[in-house]
């Protein structure tokens, strides 16, 4: 069969990165630091590495991590990003290293990357290991939970010698979230549905940060009994549970519906959210990926659920982050 020469070629190729990694390891003269065991570092260097934290070349492939760098004032150290953003304007024009889950090692090396900031991903774990073998430090951030986000901010602060700033940011985030929760606690809870995909219907379920955001902002998630955080969900259940607020984030393409409009949901006028004009089409970048903007997300959520108390959401708050042309609200 024709397979034989191909697989021989494949085998020969697979030696190359391993060889390169070996050479690099010998040259570096240092083992790879396990990112979990990184000890609090000396000032001026990344903990457990020989990298100088003032001149480190960072490639950031997770937008959530870029936002943390921005808040810590360290975007100037970024030399590369990944294909899909949204990215802060200051780094949006930097070269891309390819996809988020499989950054191109050659591009990383040619950019002189010393540190890659990404988020925890099972699929990407092998490629992360390979990069570590090539001498590039990979820090995978856990942004799946609120505590994970807080730890992540402190961790990046530690790596980049901004410990105090990081701690202050975390304290402020926690304070703001608690403030919104306190204010919403006195209000009548509303039934809320957050949609992340429409065909088939996918919704935010228990364990998602959106489920928690709903609770903080004074709502109850009508999909709270789904079997996982993001779950294919029965439209019959939606119709029967009568959500009073529907937040649809199912589409992030340019030109997608934004604002207060029934849109696709208008076909079901019996839904209270449709009848009361409380169907919001929100860009996913506003709500879906947790990170340093959690307090902002909670504020937006509170305005969508309780506009009478927290104020109507501005049209700009519903469109993509960084988009200049905000569609006017209608309906």
Partner 1 sequence: MMARAPLTRRKLIVGIAVLSAALAVCLLAGMSVGVGRVSLIDWLLGRALSEADRTILFEVRVPRVLLAAVIGGALTVAGVVFQALLRNPLADPYVLGVSGGASVGGVVALLLGLGSGAGWLSEAGVPLFAFGGALGALLLIERIATVGGRLTVYTILLTGAIFNAFSAALIYFIQSIASLHQLHEIVFYLMGRIPSPGAGEIGFLSAAILAGSLALMTMTRDYNALSLGEEGARQLGVDVDRIKRRTFVVASLLTGLAVSVAGLIGFVGLVVPHMLRLILGPDHRLLLPAAFLGGAAFLVLTDLLSRMLMAPSELPVGVVTALIGGPFFLYLLRRRGHSHGFA
Q: Could you tell me the smallest distance in angstroms from the CB atom of residue 147 to partner 1?
A: 24
Taking a C-beta distance cutoff of 8 angstroms, is the pair 57, 110 a contact?
A: no
Of 257 and 326, which CB lies nearer to partner 1 in the complex structure?
257
Q: Is 53 in the site for partner 1 (CB under 8 A)?
A: no
**With CB under 8 A, what is the number of residues at the site for partner 1?**
38
- Residues 227-246 touching partner 1, rule: CB under 8 A, are 227-228, 231-237, 239-240, 242
Q: Could you tell me the smallest distance in angstroms from the CB atom of residue 160 to partner 1?
A: 27
Q: Is 84 in the site for partner 1 (CB under 8 A)?
A: yes
Q: Is 280 in the site for partner 1 (CB under 8 A)?
A: no
Q: Is 330 in the site for partner 1 (CB under 8 A)?
A: no
Q: Could you tell me the smallest distance in angstroms from the CB atom of residue 28 to partner 1?
A: 32
Residue of 34, 36, 199, 308 that binds partner 1 (CB under 8 A): 199
14-29 burial, b if ≥16 CB within 10 A, otherwise e?
A: eeeeeebbeeebeeee
Sign of the torsion angle spanned by Cα atoms 258, 303, 286, 190: negative
Q: Could you tell me the smallest distance in angstroms from the CB atom of residue 197 to partner 1?
A: 6
Give the CA distances from residue 16 to residues 13, 108, 134, in Å, rounded to whole numbers and listed in that order: 6, 16, 11
Of 223 and 305, which CB lies nearer to partner 1 in the complex structure?
223
Residue of 66, 115, 169, 226 that binds partner 1 (CB under 8 A): 226
Q: Is 268 in the site for partner 1 (CB under 8 A)?
A: yes
Residue of 202, 220, 326, 329 that binds partner 1 (CB under 8 A): 202
Q: Is 251 in the site for partner 1 (CB under 8 A)?
A: yes
Taking a C-beta distance cutoff of 8 angstroms, is the pair 299, 310 a contact?
A: yes
Rg (CA), the chain: 23
Of 49 and 143, which CB lies nearer to partner 1 in the complex structure?
143
State the burial class of residue 220 (Cβ atoms within 10 Å of its Cβ: 0-12, 13-18, 19+): middle
Region of 311 please: left (phi>0), alpha (psi -120 to 50) or beta: left
CA proximity to 289, closest of 93, 142, 177, 165: 142
Of 180 and 271, which CB lies nearer to partner 1 in the complex structure?
271
Distance of alpha carbon 275 from alpha carbon 277, whole angstroms: 6
Taking a C-beta distance cutoff of 8 angstroms, is the pair 263, 279 a contact?
A: yes
Structure-block tokens of residue 234 = 């029965």
Q: Is 307 in the site for partner 1 (CB under 8 A)?
A: no
Q: Is 257 in the site for partner 1 (CB under 8 A)?
A: yes
Give, as one character, the DSSP assignment of residue 289.
S
- Residues 90-109 touching partner 1, rule: CB under 8 A, are 99-100
Give the residues lining the site for partner 1 (CB under 8 A).
84, 99-100, 197, 199-202, 205, 223, 225-228, 231-237, 239-240, 242, 251-253, 255-257, 263-264, 267-271, 284
């Amino acid at each position: 069969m024709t397979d034989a020469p191909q697989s021989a070629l494949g085998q020969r190729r697979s030696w190359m990165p391993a060889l390169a990694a070996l050479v690099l390891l010998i040259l570096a003269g240092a083992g790879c630091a396990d990112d979990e065991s990184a000890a609090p570092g000396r000032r001026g260097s990344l903990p457990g590495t020989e990298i100088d934290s003032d001149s480190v070349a960072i490639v950031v492939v997770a937008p959530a991590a870029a936002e943390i760098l921005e808040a810590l004032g360290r975007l100037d150290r970024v030399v590369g990003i990944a294909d899909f953003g949204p990215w802060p304007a200051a780094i949006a024009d930097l070269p891309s290293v390819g996809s988020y889950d499989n950054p191109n090692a050659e591009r990383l090396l040619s950019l002189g990357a010393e540190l890659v900031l990404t988020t925890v991903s099972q699929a990407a774990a092998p490629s992360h290991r390979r990069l570590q073998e090539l001498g590039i430090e990979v820090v995978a951030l856990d942004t799946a939970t609120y505590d994970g986000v807080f730890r992540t901010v402190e961790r990046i602060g530690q790596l980049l010698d901004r410990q105090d700033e990081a701690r202050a940011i975390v304290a402020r985030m926690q304070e703001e979230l608690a403030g919104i929760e306190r204010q919403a606690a006195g209000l009548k809870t509303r039934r809320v549905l957050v949609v992340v995909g429409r065909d088939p219907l996918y919704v935010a379920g228990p364990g998602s940060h959106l489920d928690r955001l709903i609770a903080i902002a004074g709502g109850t998630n009508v999909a709270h009994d789904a079997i996982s955080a993001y779950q294919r969900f029965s439209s019959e259940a939606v119709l029967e549970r009568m959500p009073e607020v529907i937040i649809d984030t199912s589409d992030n393409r340019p030109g997608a519906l934004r604002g207060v409009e029934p849109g696709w949901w208008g076909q079901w006028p019996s839904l209270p959210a449709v009848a009361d004009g409380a169907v919001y089409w929100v860009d996913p970048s506003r709500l879906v990926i947790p990170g340093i903007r959690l307090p902002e997300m909670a504020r937006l959520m509170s305005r969508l659920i309780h506009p009478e108390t927290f104020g109507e959401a501005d049209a700009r708050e519903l469109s993509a982050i960084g988009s200049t042309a905000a569609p006017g609200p209608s309906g």
